[in-house]
């Protein structure tokens, strides 16, 4: 990504230029990138994974505060830059993949 001082010879530029370039600001930095159409696969496998994420987020919402606090504490012990929610959802989805979509019995506790 290149940093721009005056994209298109102006002080500010946002949006697309035809179907070639996109100008934007990210965290206060002006940048330009190639215009791309994002892929959004709608295969059966992709829909299954999306369903796993939906299930994981719903399961986290159903957990009590003590369990959520345990996940926050568990990720802090690993010195990772993520939230307890992200740690929970990641391991929950991995569990669902490894067990053919069968959810674990609540509460889903962090590994020790």
Q: What is the pLDDT of residue 1?
A: 52
Closest CA to 96 of 57, 64, 69: 57
Q: What is the pLDDT of residue 106?
A: 82
Q: What is the pLDDT of residue 40?
A: 86
Residue length of the chain: 112
Per cent of the chain over pLDDT 90 is 54
Contacts 24+ apart (CB under 8 A), 54-58: 55/92, 55/96, 55/103, 56/88, 56/89, 56/92, 56/93, 56/96, 57/89
The pLDDT tens digits of the residues spanning 37-83 come to 888 889 999 999 999 999 999 999 999 999 999 999 999 999 889 99
Torsion of CA 40, 46, 48, 49, to 10 degrees: -90
């Amino acid at each position: 990504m290149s940093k721009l001082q005056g994209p298109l010879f102006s002080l500010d530029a946002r949006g697309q230029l035809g179907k070639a370039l996109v100008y934007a600001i990210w965290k206060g930095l002006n940048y330009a990138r190639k215009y791309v159409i994002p892929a959004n696969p709608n295969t059966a496998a992709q829909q299954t994974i999306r369903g796993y994420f939906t299930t994981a987020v719903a399961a986290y919402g159903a957990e009590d505060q003590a369990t959520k606090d345990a996940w926050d504490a568990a990720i802090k012990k690993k010195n990772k830059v993520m939230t307890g929610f992200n740690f929970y959802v990641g391991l929950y989805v991995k569990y669902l993949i490894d067990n053919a979509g069968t959810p674990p019995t609540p509460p889903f506790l962090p590994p020790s």
